[in-house]
Amino acid sequence: MMEQAPHGVDSAIPNIARIYDYLLGGKDNFAADRAAAERFLEVVPDIAAIAADNRAFLGRAVRYLAREAGIRQFLDLGGGLPTRSNVHEIAQQAAPDARVAYIDYDPVVVRHGEALLANGSNVAMAHADLTRPDTVLNQPEVRRVLDLSQPLALICTATLHFVPDEAHPHAVIAEYRDRVAAGSYLVISHAATHIPGRTPADAEAGADAAAGIYRQASAQLHLRTPADIRRFFDGFDLVEPGVVWMSEWRPLPGTRPAGRMQSLYAAVGCKP
């Protein structure tokens, strides 16, 4: 575990990327991150398993894109710390010539990412806000590794539920859609307001408790309805099986989700 914070980093404020890293068993986190993660586990005991399911969905989606769809370029929007089975590792296992650019608005994540990716010629990390597509797509590091005239995959796993409605997330994704080449893909997993097997009151109470923890961290949680999650794919042709619970998106034979509770919808779409 990290105990010495880089210059300019307030290690007392929980950080979403480092909380996620801790839940996945990583070491790039501080005491405040671990404490916040433990509070999450008290509110949602399945949260670590849900994080693992999200990472498993990411792996299945990236392997599908690299192996079956022939995608060789990936733009990960807010993917957090690229340390454990992340996009570049998965994509380059399937296609060694795959190129990946990571974007994050958090300077701490970017600083760590730059160090972790220092030796990767086909991998880049850039500091930018995903809600500003023009800025993102014109980042020098993005342009260095990606050819925007060719199809690419936009990766938004467990990120858009940290974008408030006031930032117009659907319009943001639509702008990316309009800027990328035909044949590009969109990958999303997103926390939902509806959780099967829980009463509306229980679900609301759990969401309020989780949101309270996030209010003390570096980003806030914004749950959306299944219909609102489907809206992100306007203008994309959905890949089968469409918008489903993430554990149901092309599960590997003989595997079962780590989490007992569904909480994130997921889908992959292609720009015609």
Residues forming a β-bridge with 270: 185, 237
CA within 13 Å, CB half, 18: 30
pLDDT of res. 181: 98
| Strand 123-127 with 99-104, pairing | parallel
pLDDT of res. 83: 59
pLDDT of res. 91: 95
Residues 6+ away with beta carbon under 8 Å from 60: 249, 250, 251, 252
Closest CA to 265 of 155, 157, 104, 154: 157
pLDDT of res. 38: 85
Averaged over successive runs of 10 residues, the pLDDT of the chain (272 residues) comes to: 54 77 79 85 77 90 98 92 78 95 85 71 91 97 96 96 94 98 98 60 49 51 90 98 94 74 88 98
**Phi-psi group of 61: left, alpha or beta (phi > 0 → left; psi -120 to 50 → alpha; rest → beta):** alpha
Tell me the pLDDT tens digit for each residue of 149-198. 999 999 999 999 989 999 999 999 999 999 999 999 999 999 988 554 44
Please report the sign of the dihedral spanned by the C-alpha atoms of residue 140, residue 146, residue 151, residue 153.
negative
pLDDT of res. 4: 54
Amino acid present at 256? R
Q: Is residue 141 within 8 Å of 122, Cβ to Cβ?
A: no
Separation between Cα atoms, residue 92 and residue 99, nearest integer Å: 8
C-alpha distances out from residue 106 to 16, 78, 242, Å: 10, 9, 31
Residues 6+ away with beta carbon under 8 Å from 58: 85, 86, 87, 90, 155, 157, 187, 189
Amino acid present at 36? A
Query: Dihedrals φ, ψ of 87, to 5°?
Result: -60, -45
pTM for the full predicted model? 0.83
pLDDT of res. 203: 47
Separation between Cα atoms, residue 57 and residue 263, nearest integer Å: 13
Q: Is residue 109 within 8 Å of 81, Cβ to Cβ?
A: yes
Domain 16-270 fold is Rossmann fold (3.40.50)
Closest CA to 124 of 142, 138, 106: 142
CA within 13 Å, CB half, 65: 33
Q: Where are the domains of the chain?
A: 16-270
pLDDT of res. 127: 92
